[in-house]
Amino acid sequence: MPQPGPATVRSRVRIPLTFPDGYRAEAEATTFHGLVDGAEHLALAFGTVAEGATPLVRLHSECLTGDVFGSDRCDCGPQLREAVERIAEAGGYLLYLRQEGRGIGLYNKLDAYALQDSGLDTYEANAALGLPEDGRDYTAAAQMLAALGATDVDLLSNNPDKAEQLAGLGVTVHRRVPTGVHLSASNVRYLTAKVERTGHSIALPRLVG
């Protein structure tokens, strides 16, 4: 990926949100010029950051099946819902990143699901398709945070790679705040693979052991 220049704010608009459980939040959506990957990523600002406090930030990769249709094969939809409420309470940003299937795209993700049904885990399935286990690059996210003036953050994430990439891109991550554990009968193998393969901070043994 080429060395990026700075991104700039393109537009801001207020959006009232209502979730299926009735939770409501007011978001300020920001779009950008100059993102290195050319994708239409979105920043949603919630709440108010207290004076002297660090904004709480979530990098949320788009998941049509989980975020929109409520699929139980992953924990993306519940994580999105949780993140909005926690960020609204603390003040900060949710970056909605167009990185379906950890960057492999929707159709490839569904192909990987078919391979998972035959016994492969989520990372093995990607590899069997000749695709990266996790193809996400967070350079655009770092550009977005810089344009928002949020280069010192608390990161709401179970994924150590997000914090490591942001730190390498000039964002100071003061602390990584784990999300809740959203366990279902359909996503146990998915969450277990996250813990075992990429060191996600998900306390599964306490819940399923």
Active site residues: 134, 136
Cβ neighbours for 115, distance < 8 A, ≥ 6 positions apart: 124, 125, 128, 129
The strand pairing partners of 16, in sequence order, are 26
Q: Which residues contact 200 (CB under 8 A, 6 or more apart)?
A: 158, 159, 160, 191, 194
Three-state DSSP at 96 gives strand
Pick from 162, 114, 158: nearest CA to 142: 162
Contact 99, 58 (CB under 8 A): no
CA angle 69, 41, 43 (to 5 degrees): 90
Look at residue 8 and give its three-state secondary structure: strand
81 token code pair:
């819902």
Of 183, 145, 193, 143, nearest to 7 by C-alpha is: 143
Distance from the Cα of residue 2 to its chain's centroid: 23
Could you give phi then psi for residue 113, rounded to 5 degrees? Answer: -60, -45
